Amino acid sequence: MAVIDSAGLVLPRDIADTMIRKTQDGSVVAQLSASEPFRFGNTDIVTVNQVPKAEFVGEGADKGSTVETFSYVTATPKKAQTTLRFNEEVQWRDQDYQLGVLNELATAAAESLPRALDLAVLHGINPLSGAALSGSPAKLADAATVITAAGAPEAEVEATIAAQLAPGGFPTGVALSPDYAFAYATQRYPEDHARAGELVNPGLPLNPREVGSIRGLTAAVSDTVAAPEAASAAAKKIKAIVGNWNAGVRWGVARQLPVEIIKFGDPDGQGDLKRKNQIALRLETAWVWYVDPTKFALVKAA
């Protein structure tokens, strides 16, 4: 398979920045948890199992030893790729035309790559097949606390928060499926209430691309919460994921975004490029993430 030298095809700064921005806009993980830099390869993340306690000491008194325990978890990188085919008539003639093609790739990647991140972190699945990822990495869907959805989204989300606060948890955000978000956002006070007819939760937007809030928690909406791609029926029942997205999820990009131009061979199993008079563009990204399901709770349909 012949590939044009990738050194001259690394995405220009303006294209790369646009791709990253769109990736973050389209992912509940990126909306609720900040990314951080990672190197390629297994990454050990130090965890503090017991927060050290301070001590007041009197004048001239001895200072005691504070108590803390540390351990570590390992985050493993996994590569996601998007391959686009074009008719052979699409040729590289000048820089402007080249950027136009790369913008097409950026648009496609802006939808596929954030979705891959969400489906991996939330459900531990491969987006293309819907099957479990190799190595069975931890996922938010493994959360032990599950509240059954019964038509009362406000009370159900409150129950997930209460379940986490009891053992000392600290929820920071909530990811909702579009149908559940709509039910939550359109709740109105009853006729016998002083605010009859007003929205109970005006801070939750109906536009899934906008970040909202629920009782001080950052709220993001995406159909990745219910994972329509998942082979498992259980994954498709998830309506909301509530938890500490700062401490419970660590993620980042381990490699920059290169572009390959593929002119020969069968890079995606859809037939020989030369025979079909086509070329292919491929974008690959190595995500690194770690998930602690104990810091989350779910709302699921029965």
- Spatial contact of 214 and 156, defined as CB atoms under 8 Å apart: no
Phi first, then psi: give them for residue 252, nearest 5 degrees: -175, 175
For 217, the 3-state DSSP assignment is: strand
For the segment 234-281, what is each residue's pLDDT rounded down to a tens digit? 889 999 999 999 989 988 887 766 677 888 899 888 899 988 888 887
Strand 217-221 with 212-214, pairing: antiparallel
Task: Choose among 117, 91, 81: nearest CA to 258.
Answer: 81
Sign for the pseudo-dihedral over CA of 240, 246, 251, 256:
positive
What would the two tokens of residue 301 be? 């349909």
For the segment 289-300, what is each residue's pLDDT rounded down to a tens digit? 889 999 999 999
Task: Choose among 152, 106, 122, 83: nearest CA to 230.
Answer: 122
For the segment 73-103, what is each residue's pLDDT rounded down to a tens digit? 667 778 888 787 777 765 554 445 555 666 6
Domain boundaries, the chain: 6-47+73-301
The answer as to CATH 2.60.40 being correct for domain 6-47+73-301 is no
Maximum C-alpha span of the chain: 86
